[in-house]
A and B are shown apart, each in its own frame.
Chain A
Amino acid sequence: SQTIHQWPATLVQPVGSPLSLECTVEGTSNPNLYWYRQAAGRGLQLLFYSVGIGQISSEVPQNLSASRPQDRQFILSSKKLLLSDSGFYLCAWRAGGKHGYTFGSGTRLTVV
């Protein structure tokens, strides 16, 4: 069966520090991968998506970036965090041609 792992679960980082969040998927190949951010108790904002290794589409201009170094690995990064980067970050995958996402358990990022 397919599983998705996302870590860390919580993170407190100072303003100006770098960020690296990792997401891996098991049990499938060539998944579509997504990074979303969720403001407190609200809907999800798409940040990045990838349909293949090295292929990244950015939805929101900001100081975040994403990379897909391997088929089932998706990384969200920042060189210098801002206070406004605080939020709940969710990784998700979807099989090509299939409906709906499977989400990871999320990372709560607090920038102080």
Chain B
Amino acid sequence: TQLLEQSPQFLSIQEGENLTVYCNSSSVFSSLQWYRQEPGEGPVLLVTVVTGGEVKKLKRLTFQFGDARKDSSLHITAAQPGDTGLYLCAGPTSGTYKYIFGTGTRLKVLA
């Protein structure tokens, strides 16, 4: 069974600090996605990484896919209160139409 474990589970930081969130699995994924979810709303897709070792940047957010395609990280530079939310990684299960989601990292950025 493919699983995605995220760490840390909770993170509370001051505005301006940097942080990294991790998404790990013992299984290989053909791609991984990162989503951000705000309370009472559906998750919003931030990025998809496909190639091992790939790095994508979205303003202050940097996403990396591990060389073996078993893990991914999200790094936020100079966090802002607007970055607050639940960050979820997700990936397609082998040979199916299904995507599994990670356990989530709840980030709170204090002004």
Q: Are B31 and A106 in contact (CB under 8 A)?
A: no
**Interface size grouping (class) on chain B:** 20 to 34
Closest to A88 in B: B40
Give the one of A36, A42, A44 with max B CB within 10 A: A44
Q: Are B48 and A41 in contact (CB under 8 A)?
A: no
Closest to B41 in A: A105
A37 to chain B: closest CB distance in Å?
11
Chain A residues with CB under 8 Å of B86's CB are 41
Contact of B45 among A90, A102, A108 (CB under 8 A): A102
Q: Are A101 and B97 in contact (CB under 8 A)?
A: no
Contact of B101 among A32, A44, A105 (CB under 8 A): A44
Q: Are A104 and B33 in contact (CB under 8 A)?
A: no
Q: Are B33 and A43 in contact (CB under 8 A)?
A: no
Chain A 54-97 interface 0/1 with B at a Cβ cutoff of 8 Å (1 = within): 00000100000000000000000000000000000010101000
Q: How far is the CA of A44 from the CA of B42 in the complex (A)?
A: 11
Indicate whether A101 sits within 8 Å of B104 (C-beta atoms), given known contacts A32-B97, A49-B97, A49-B98.
Answer: no
Indicate whether A105 sits within 8 Å of B31 (C-beta atoms), given known contacts A41-B104, A43-B103, A100-B48.
Answer: no
Q: Are A106 and B97 in contact (CB under 8 A)?
A: no
**B102 CB within 8 Å of chain A:** yes
Report B's interface with A, CB cutoff 8 A. Answer: 6, 31, 33, 40-45, 48, 50, 86, 88, 90, 92, 97-104, 106
Q: List 5 A-B contacts (CB under 8 A).
A: A100-B33, A100-B48, A101-B45, A101-B90, A104-B42
Report A's interface with B, CB cutoff 8 A. Answer: 6, 32, 34, 36, 41-44, 46, 49, 51, 59, 90, 92, 94, 99-106, 108
